[in-house]
A and B are shown apart, each in its own frame.
Chain A
C-alpha cells in the first residue's frame, strides 16, 4: 500500500492537504525570514508542491528520501511535522535537528528523511547508499534521491546513478526541473531538451512528466517503485515544474519576467488538482477554503511554537560530534565555553 492512495477520495484529500500545507508553511517561512526571525537562507518550494507530494504519495512510509537545499516540501510530503520543522528553521532546541541543522539540513532519519542538503548534487549518492543497505539486507523499501535541474550537471550525481544502475539497486532519481539553477536557465546548463535523456547512458528508464500535475508524478514514481522492488534497478523521473519565488528569499530575479511566472501560475498544481476534485464532486470550494484556513491556522501555531520554544543551551554546541565523543571536545570546550567551562577555562 502506497503512503497515499490517489485512487481513493481520502488519499486525494490528504494529498491536497499536504500540498496546501507546503505552500502555507513556505509562505510563512518567507514572511518570517523577511521579518528577520529566521537566520541563514531559505529556499522555498512554492509552485513545486506536486513533485514532492506526488513522489511521496507513491512511496511506502518507511522508504527513504534524500533531499536538496529546497527541502521543506519534501519533509512535509514525507509526513514530517511542520511544528518541529519550523522550530528547526528558528534554530530551536526542539527542532528536528535540535537547532544544529536549520532549513538546509532538516532531517528525520527514523522517518526515512535523510536530510535536506546544502551541497548541490550530494543527495543522489546518499540515496544510492540507502538503496544499497536495502538491497544488502533484502528489505522491502526503496530510496529516492531528489535533485534539481542544476544538479544534473554534477559529477557525483552521475557516479551515483551509474552505481545504482550497475548494481540494480532499488533507487529512484527524481529530477525537479524548475528551469533554473539560481539565475541560470536550464538551456544554458545542459545541451539536452529532456534531462531524463541522461538515463539512456545508464540503460535505465528515464521519463519526463508534467510536474505541475500530482497524478502524473505519482504514476511515474509508482511505476519506478514497482520496477525497483522487482529488482530491475533505478529509474529517472524528470518532473517539469517551476518555482514561483526567487532562488532564495531576497533574490531580485533579474533573469526572468513576470509574464513567464504568470504562464506557470496558470497551471498551478494546487488549483488544478483542487478543481479536479471539485469536478469529481468530492470537494466543494467552501470545503477547500475551510481546509486552507485550518492549515494556515496550524502553520500560525507552528510559528508561534517556534518563536516561543527554547533556544538550545550554548553548551549543546559541543555535543553530537560523534557517537563516542573524543576527549578533544571537552579539552577545547573547556577553553572556549562562554560559561567559563567546567574547569574555569583551564586546558587541564
Chain B
C-alpha cells in the first residue's frame, strides 16, 4: 500500500513519540492480556519518555517497572508469552541487547520451531537506536540487523509517525516475537497519523513515501525523512522515489523490486554499519530479481563501520544523513 492510501483516512498530527504512545495505549485498552514491562517504563515514563502517562492510566500491574535485569526480564517475557499473556518489553537502549541476547537468540527465537510449532510467543520488544544526541558509543548503536538476521524473530523500524503507531500495534497483535526499533532522533518528528483504533501497518509491507522515475531510495528510520527532503530539493533535476521498507524482516522485496524495475537505480540508506548488513541484504535481493533492470551500481549509505563517537564533530562525520543520500544519488543519476 502507498503511504498516501493509508492516509486517506481520518488523521491527526502528532509526533513519533505520541504515535507510539497512542499505539501502546490503544492496545492496552483493547486487550487485557497486554502489559508493558521494562526499566523505568512506569512512574518515570521511560527514559525517552515514550510511556509517559501510561502508568497513571493503567496502573502498576500493566505498566511494570523491572529491576535492571535485561536477561531476567527478557526471559520472563518469553516464558510469559509462552503461557498465555502478551508482554511488551522496553529495552532502554538497543546497545543493552547483548546483555539479554541469550534469552532472545536461544529461547525467544527458537522455541516455536524447536517445539514443532506448539508454543506461540506473542512478545513485543521495543528498543531505541541511533546516534545524533552525543550519547557516545554505548547508547547510540544501530543493531537491528542482528535481529533481522536471526531466524525466528521479526524486526520492524518505523520512519514516520504513522508507521510508528501502525507497526507498534501490529507487533503487539502478532503471535510471533516482533522487535520494534525506534530511532531516538525522530521522536519529536511530526506527521499525520490515522486515528482509527484498528489502524495497523501489516508487518512485511513497505510504503512508497514518494513516487519518482529516476532513482529509488530505500531508506529507513531517520533517513526516510532526510531522503524525502533530498528528493524535494532535487525536484526538476532528478526524480527520486523514496520507499520505507518499515519491516526489515520480513522484507517487502516485491515493492522494492518493482520500483527498481522502473527507475533502474538504487540507493539503500540505513544507519546500521555498512559491512555485512541490511544494505547488503536489500541490494542482494534486488540483484537476484532485477539484475537486468539495473543501470548503475547500487549505492549504500550507512555508518562507515565505526562506533558512534562522542564529540559532535566526530559524530556528525560518521552519522549518515541527507548529504550522504544526496551524494549517493548524484553518483548514479
- Chain A residues proximal to chain B, CB less than 8 Å: 64, 66, 95-101, 105, 107-110, 114-115, 117-119, 122, 124-130, 132-134, 136-137, 143, 155-156, 159-160, 162-163, 166, 319-324, 326-328, 331, 347-348
Q: Is the CB of A119 within 8 A of B106?
A: yes
- Beyond A114-B82, A132-B80, A132-B85, 5 extra complex contacts between A and B, CB < 8 Å: A125-B78, A130-B80, A159-B69, A163-B73, A331-B253
A-facing residues in B145-178 (Cβ within 8 Å):
151-152, 154, 174-176
Q: Give which listed residue, B33, B80, B106, B117, contacts A129 with CB less than 8 A.
A: B80
| Residue B81, interface by CB 8 Å | yes
Q: How far is the CA of A331 from the CA of B285 in the complex (A)?
A: 11
- Given the interface contacts A97-B114, A324-B174, does A126 sit within 8 Å of B107 by beta carbon? yes
Q: How far is the CA of A95 from the CA of B66 in the complex (A)?
A: 38
Q: Give which listed residue, B107, B118, B176, contacts A122 with CB less than 8 A.
A: B107
6 interchain pairs, CB-CB under 8 A: A95-B116, A115-B119, A129-B78, A132-B80, A136-B80, A348-B289
Q: Give which listed residue, A126, A127, A143, A324, contacts B175 with CB less than 8 A.
A: A324
Task: Pick the 3 closest A-B CB pairs, nearest first.
Answer: A129-B79, A125-B75, A159-B72
Q: Is the CB of A125 within 8 A of B113?
A: no
Q: Give which listed residue, B35, B76, B112, B151, contacts A160 with CB less than 8 A.
A: B76
Q: How far is the CA of A124 from the CA of B75 in the complex (A)?
A: 8
Q: Is the CB of A97 within 8 A of B106?
A: no
Q: Give which listed residue, B71, B113, B115, contacts A156 with CB less than 8 A.
A: B71
Q: Is the CB of B69 within 8 A of A347?
A: no
| Residue B54, interface by CB 8 Å | no
Q: How far is the CA of A126 from the CA of B116 in the complex (A)?
A: 18
Measured CB to CB, the nearest residue on chain B to A99 is: B116
* Residue from the set B75, B82, B118 with the largest chain A CB neighbour count within 10 Å: B75
Q: Is the CB of B289 within 8 A of A347?
A: yes
* Residue from the set A64, A66, A156, A166 with the largest chain B CB neighbour count within 10 Å: A156
Q: Is the CB of B176 within 8 A of A126?
A: no
Q: Is the CB of B80 within 8 A of A100?
A: no
Q: Is the CB of B102 within 8 A of A322?
A: no
Q: Is the CB of B72 within 8 A of A133?
A: no
A-facing residues in B50-89 (Cβ within 8 Å):
61, 66-67, 69, 71-85, 87
| Residue B215, interface by CB 8 Å | no
A-facing residues in B229-276 (Cβ within 8 Å):
249-251, 253
Q: Is the CB of A321 within 8 A of B79?
A: no
Q: Is the CB of A328 within 8 A of B75?
A: no
Q: Is the CB of A122 within 8 A of B204?
A: no
| Residue B305, interface by CB 8 Å | no
| Residue B196, interface by CB 8 Å | no
- Given the interface contacts A156-B102, A162-B67, does A327 sit within 8 Å of B204 by beta carbon? yes
Q: Is the CB of A328 within 8 A of B114?
A: no
Q: Give which listed residue, A128, A326, A347, contacts B288 with CB less than 8 A.
A: A347
Q: Nearest Cβ in chain A — how far from B256, in angstroms?
A: 13
Q: Is the CB of A136 within 8 A of B75?
A: no
Q: How far is the CA of A117 from the CA of B84 in the complex (A)?
A: 20
- Given the interface contacts A114-B83, A130-B82, does A109 sit within 8 Å of B119 by beta carbon? yes
Q: Is the CB of B115 within 8 A of A115?
A: yes
Q: Nearest Cβ in chain A — how far from B278, in angstroms?
A: 14
Q: Is the CB of B72 within 8 A of A100?
A: no
- Given the interface contacts A125-B71, A160-B72, A163-B72, does A322 sit within 8 Å of B106 by beta carbon? no
| Residue B209, interface by CB 8 Å | no
Q: Give which listed residue, B72, B83, B106, contacts A134 with CB less than 8 A.
A: B83
In the complex, number of A-B residue pairs with CB atoms less than 8 Å apart: 169
- Given the interface contacts A126-B82, A328-B249, A328-B250, does A323 sit within 8 Å of B76 by beta carbon? no
| Residue B111, interface by CB 8 Å | yes
Q: How far is the CA of A125 from the CA of B118 in the complex (A)?
A: 20
Q: Give which listed residue, B73, B116, B176, contacts A100 with CB less than 8 A.
A: B116
| Residue B220, interface by CB 8 Å | no
- Given the interface contacts A319-B117, A320-B112, A347-B288, does A159 sit within 8 Å of B152 by beta carbon? no
- Given the interface contacts A122-B102, A136-B85, A322-B152, does A107 sit within 8 Å of B253 by beta carbon? no
Q: Is the CB of A115 within 8 A of B111?
A: yes
Q: How far is the CA of A125 from the CA of B83 in the complex (A)?
A: 13
B253: chain A residues within 8 A (beta carbon)? 327, 331
| Residue B214, interface by CB 8 Å | no
Q: How far is the CA of A97 from the CA of B79 in the complex (A)?
A: 18
Q: Nearest Cβ in chain B — how far from A39, in angstroms?
A: 15
Q: Nearest Cβ in chain A — how far from B42, in angstroms?
A: 13
| Residue B200, interface by CB 8 Å | no
- Given the interface contacts A96-B116, A97-B115, A101-B116, does A129 sit within 8 Å of B81 by beta carbon? yes
Q: How far is the CA of A320 from the CA of B82 in the complex (A)?
A: 15
Q: Is the CB of B79 within 8 A of A127?
A: yes
Q: How far is the CA of A91 from the CA of B75 in the complex (A)?
A: 27
Q: Is the CB of A137 within 8 A of B67?
A: no
- Given the interface contacts A136-B35, A156-B72, does A100 sit within 8 Å of B115 by beta carbon? yes
Q: Is the CB of B79 within 8 A of A130?
A: yes
Q: Is the CB of B113 within 8 A of A321?
A: yes
B15: chain A residues within 8 A (beta carbon)? none
Q: How far is the CA of A324 from the CA of B35 in the complex (A)?
A: 22
Q: Is the CB of A107 within 8 A of B114?
A: yes
Measured CB to CB, the nearest residue on chain B to A135 is: B61
Measured CB to CB, the nearest residue on chain B to A126 is: B79
Measured CB to CB, the nearest residue on chain B to A331 is: B253
Contact with A along B14-41 (1 / 0, CB 8 A): 0000000000000000000101000000
Q: Give which listed residue, B76, B154, B203, contacts A125 with CB less than 8 A.
A: B76
A124: chain B residues within 8 A (beta carbon)? 75
| Residue B103, interface by CB 8 Å | yes
Q: Is the CB of B113 within 8 A of A327?
A: no
Q: Give which listed residue, A110, A129, A162, contacts B75 with CB less than 8 A.
A: A129
Measured CB to CB, the nearest residue on chain B to A121 is: B102
A105: chain B residues within 8 A (beta carbon)? 114-115
Q: How far is the CA of A119 from the CA of B74 in the complex (A)?
A: 15
B113: chain A residues within 8 A (beta carbon)? 100, 320-321
Q: How far is the CA of A321 from the CA of B33 in the complex (A)?
A: 24
Q: Nearest Cβ in chain B — how far from A111, in angstroms?
A: 10
| Residue B120, interface by CB 8 Å | yes
- Given the interface contacts A110-B118, A119-B102, does A159 sit within 8 Å of B71 by beta carbon? yes
